Amino acid sequence: MPTSTVTIGLLLPDVLSTYSDAGNATVLAKRLHWQGIPAEVLRCTADQSPPTSCDIYVLGGGEDTAQLFAAQWLLSHRALCQAITGSSVTLAVCAGLQILGRCMTDVSGFTHAGAGILDIETRPRRVRAVGEIVTDCTVPGVGKLCGFENHRGATTLGTETRPLGLVRSGVGNCDRRLGRRREGVYTDRIIGTYLHGPVLARNPALADHLLSRATGHTVKSLDVPDQTALRDTYL
């Protein structure tokens, strides 16, 4: 296992913080600590230049105005975009997912540029998706995912882009293929999802997948009291 400190870059916690998604960074750091691996969370607010050498980046959700600001902020920091597409691992939730795509269309019909890191596009739904969601995760070994979705975005994946999950109950991306609704995005280095909760607190296997990718070593599962019982109430 690694002995050097794993750095977790929490991007724009002052902007993308509507649903406590910043807690995902805390979950990652805590699970590393329990494994005996040193970890550091670097909070990068809107008035700072972002670090470009983190092992993991975390982006959270936000409302429309915050989302558009975050997209422009990300586009203005191309070195960070290159880091996200490089050797780092990234978790992007809700608005954080949308701004990594090619573009986003707002409720007025205007299209705004995203960072272009993911082959996805987002447009507004007619009805907001709100409520619990359960999916079958496409990441091997992770199993079912649960969370709370609250979004008006309908995200379409490019033909070569894999979903993070196939929806059992809930809405997800509003993007169907082969008869199943899909949720999120899954690449070798990026996990994008509409699941709040925070998602990693409710789905520790997904957290361990990210940590394994970031460290290059398999992270052992942890026996956290009441964790299984809590998940059983949602799955």
At 59 the pLDDT is 97
Average pLDDT across the chain, whole number:
92
Give per-residue pLDDT as tens, 99-144: 999 999 998 999 999 999 999 999 999 999 999 999 999 999 999 9
| pLDDT confidence tier of residue 175, bands split at 50, 70 and 90 | confident
Answer whether residue 232 shows pLDDT above 80. Answer: no
Answer whether residue 1 shows pLDDT above 60. Answer: no
Give per-residue pLDDT as tens, 150-167: 999 999 999 889 999 999
Assess contact for 116 and 102: CB atoms under 8 A.
yes
Q: Domain spans of the chain? A: 6-232
Query: Of residues 175 and 225, which shows the higher confidence score?
Result: 175
Answer whether residue 2 shows pLDDT above 70. Answer: no
What average pLDDT score do residues 66-92 get? Answer: 95
Chain-centroid distance of CA 137 in Å reads 13
pTM: 0.94
Beta-bridge partner residues of 137? 165
At 178 the pLDDT is 58
DSSP line for the chain: ---SPEEEEEE-TTTS-TT-TTHHHHHHHHHHHHTT--EEEEEE-TTSPPPS--SEEEE----HHHHHHHHHHHHT-HHHHHHHTTT-EEEEETHHHHHTSSEEE-TTS-EEE---SSSEEEEEEEEEEEEEEEEEE-STTT-EEEEEEEEEEEEEEPTTPBPSEEEEES-TTSEEETTEEEESEE-SSEEEE--BTTHHHH-HHHHHHHHHHHHSSPPPP---TTHHHHHHTT-
At 37 the pLDDT is 92
Answer whether residue 209 shows pLDDT above 60. Answer: yes
What average pLDDT score do residues 35-58 get? Answer: 95
At 113 the pLDDT is 96
Q: How many CB atoms lie within 10 A of CB 16?
A: 29
Catalytic amino acids? 94, 196
CATH code matching the domain that covers 6-232, chosen among 3.40.50.720, 3.30.2130.30, 3.40.1160.10, 3.40.50.880? 3.40.50.880
Residue 52 is given by DSSP the state S
